[in-house]
Amino acid sequence: MSRSDSSDSNVDLEKQAPNLRHDEDLIELPKILKESITGFGGFGALLLQIAHPGAARGVHNHSEFATRQLDRAEKTAIYVYMMVYGTQEEKNFIREWVNRMHSRVKGGEGDSAYRAQDPDLQLWVAATLYVGWVKSYEMAYGPLPADRAERVYQEFSVFGTSLQVPREKWPQDRHTFNEYYEHIVQNEQNLVPEGEQVFYHIMHPRLPFVFKPLVPLALYLTRIFSVDYLPPRVRLAYGLKSTTKFDRFNRKLMILQYKITPPFIRSLPKRYYMKRGRVMVAKLKQRGFNGDMRMRSH
**Residue-wise pLDDT tens digits, 37-56:** 999 988 999 999 999 999 99
Distances in whole angstroms, Cα of residue 50 to Cα of each of 53, 64, 95, 218, 287: 7, 14, 22, 20, 31
Query: Where does residue 64 fall: left (phi above 0), alpha (psi -120 to 50 degrees), or beta otherwise?
Result: left
Instruction: Look up residue 9 and give its DSSP letter.
Output: S
Phi and psi, residue 115, nearest 5°: -155, 120
Quick: pLDDT tens for 216-267. 898 999 999 999 999 999 999 999 999 999 999 999 999 999 999 999 999 9
CA distance linking residue 127 with residue 204, whole number of Å = 26
Burial class (CB in 10 A: 0-12, 13-18, 19+), 195: buried
CA-to-CA dists, residue 253 to 12, 57, 104, 220, angstroms: 38, 37, 44, 14
Would you tell me how many other CB atoms lie within 10 Å of the CB of residue 213? 8
Q: What ranges in 9-144 are assigned the alpha helix state H?
A: 13-16, 29-33, 41-50, 53-62, 69-85, 88-103, 119-141
Residues in the chain: 298
Confidence of residue 294 (pLDDT cuts 50, 70, 90): low
CB 6 within 8 A of CB 172: no
Q: What is the pTM of this model?
A: 0.86
- Residue 171's pLDDT band, with cuts at 50, 70 and 90, is very high
Tell me the one-letter amino acid at 112.
S
156 CB-contact burial (10 Å; exposed 0-12 / middle 13-18 / buried 19+): buried
CA 109 and chain centroid, separation: 27
Find residue 106's DSSP bridge partners.
115
Cβ–Cβ under 8 Å, residues 163 and 102: yes
Amino acid at 82: M
Confidence of residue 187 (pLDDT cuts 50, 70, 90): very high
Query: Across the chain, where does the E strand assignment appear?
Result: 106-107, 114-115
Numbers of helices and strands, H then E, in the chain: 17, 2
What is the mean predicted confidence (pLDDT) over 121-132? 96
What's the CA gap between 114 and 93, in Å, rounded?
Answer: 25
Q: Find the radius of gyration of the CA atoms of the chain.
A: 19
Percent of the chain with pLDDT over 90: 72
State residue 166's pLDDT score.
94
Whether the predicted pLDDT of 164 surpasses 70: yes
Contacts with 157 (C-beta within 8 Å, 6 or more apart), sequence order? 20, 126, 165, 167, 170
